[in-house]
Amino acid sequence: MRMLPIDPDEPDAETLKEAAEALRSGRLVVFPTETVYGLGADATDERAVGRVFEAKGRPPDNPLIVHVLDGEDARRVTRDVPDDAKRLMEAFWPGPLTLVLPADPRLPRIVTAGLDTVAVRAPAHPVARALLAAAGVPLAAPSANRSGMPSPTRAEHVAMDYRGHESVIALLLDAGPCTIGVESTVVDLTSDPPTVLRLGGVPPEAIQTHLPRLKVDPHARGVAVAPGTSVASPGMKHRHYAPRTPVTLFEGEDGPAKILEAHKSSLRREKKSGFIVSTQTAHQGSLQGDNIVVLGGRNEQGRWAHDLFDALRRLDEQGLDRIFVEGIPETGLGAAVMDRLRRAAARID
């Protein structure tokens, strides 16, 4: 794996050319998007896509998102683009919104895990866009973490996950931290009503202004899926975002008080605990140290999204006995943040 720095605003043409050539020859390239880093392969090349599943250790029944430049480009992998899809593409593309649409039957089945629908998104990150343009093919790209780890929002996260397995990746394009920090919102437009399958970079209330019928699947809020329940998005039943250290999430109004209590009692234990808290709580309890991460104000959900996965990873490396997290309001990006935190805490499979 070659790790190459690349300017996020003015990506170098030579670097892009090298990455595009690697992709066209069936190899894997990690590239930045505005949400998280993606592990990309030529979506039209069945063997290349197979390597993505292998590299990630991803279950074969969990389909991939296909990245395209725009609505026109999306026609290369879809069978039909309904009016609702056109409206949402117009409003949110390029950006952190993935649409599930009827798949073009010529797309290798491995991409969609055998489903007759395909998830498509047009990323906004200049490097992702320049790479799509240079490669000239749609790119199948899941988040670049190894299966079960939090999504990578920095190139170092990817390098860490693939330590010892570097050869499966041809190139890692390092453009610094991702601006949003949580994955794209996944909306299924083949169901009636249209449904949010995964909360993410575009808050559901923003989508509802263009598509009032939109519903949010309760599983998308990180609520545990009972064994044997059928789920709309195959990704929902797989454990996600789980650091190795057990996570306890304190939701609701008494969250801050409970966190401070947990902090007090942890001081009496020999082994250290980790804490992810708001500025208000940190201030109130004078919390500080390597084991304390302050993500932002309680109502600065965008800041929480930006640094959440990095915080979980950093604390996970410290060999702590537990990570305690304060919940935040579920408005704006807070909905996606709380879904990821519930999954990390419940270790949802």
Q: What is the binding site for Mg ion (CB under 5 A)?
A: 143
| Residues between 182 and 241 with contacts to ligand TXA, criterion CB under 6 A | 183-184, 186, 197-198, 233-235
74 binds ligand TXA (CB under 6 A): no
Contact status: 169 vs ligand TXA (CB under 6 A): no
CA-based nearest residue to 341, from 328, 300, 331, 332: 328
36 binds, among ligand TXA, Mg ion, none (CB under 5 to 8 A by kind): ligand TXA
Query: Are 256 and 280 spatial neighbours (Cβ–Cβ below 8 Å)?
Result: yes
Nearest to 119 by CA among 216, 20, 187: 187
Query: Contact, 106 vs 195, CB < 8 A?
Result: no
Question: From CA 37, how far away is CA 154, in angstroms rounded?
Answer: 7
Q: How far lies 309's CA from each of 150, 288, 315, in Å?
A: 6, 20, 10
Q: Minimum distance from CB of 146 to ligand TXA (Å)?
A: 11
> What's the order of all strands across the beta sheet hosting 215-216?
2-5, 171-174, 29-31, 38-42, 139-140, 65-67, 117-121, 97-102, 185-188, 195-198, 215-216
Closer residue to Mg ion (CB): 143 or 179:
143
CA distance 119 to 100: 4
Among 15, 44, 78, 98, binds ligand TXA (CB under 6 A): 98
Among 15, 44, 78, 112, binds ligand TXA (CB under 6 A): 112
Nearer to Mg ion, 234 or 302 (CB): 234
How many residues bind ligand TXA (CB under 6 A)? The answer is: 29
Cβ contact 201:336 at 8 Å:
yes
Distance between CA atoms of residues 349 and 289, nearest Å: 32
Closer residue to ligand TXA (CB): 62 or 291: 62
Pick between residue 146 and residue 258 the one whose CB is nearest to ligand TXA.
146
d(CA 251, CA 105): 44
Nearer to ligand TXA, 3 or 292 (CB): 3
Question: Given the DSSP bridges, would you call strands 323-326 and 139-140 parallel, antiparallel or unpaired?
Answer: unpaired
- State yes or no: residue 97 binds ligand TXA (CB under 6 A): no
CB of 37 to ligand TXA, least distance (A): 7
Q: Is 142 in the site for ligand TXA (CB under 6 A)?
A: yes
Burial 309-334 (b: 16+ CB within 10 A, else e): bbbbbbbbeeebebbbbbbbebebbb
Q: Which of residues 271-310 bind ligand TXA (CB under 6 A)?
A: none
Show the binding pattern over residues 27-66: x = contacts ligand TXA (CB under 6 A), - = does not.
Answer: ------x-xx-x-----------------------xxxx-
Binding flag, residue 78, ligand TXA (CB under 6 A): no
Q: Which residues form the interface with ligand TXA (CB under 6 A)? A: 33, 35-36, 38, 62-65, 96, 98, 100, 112, 115, 117-119, 121, 123, 141-143, 183-184, 186, 197-198, 233-235
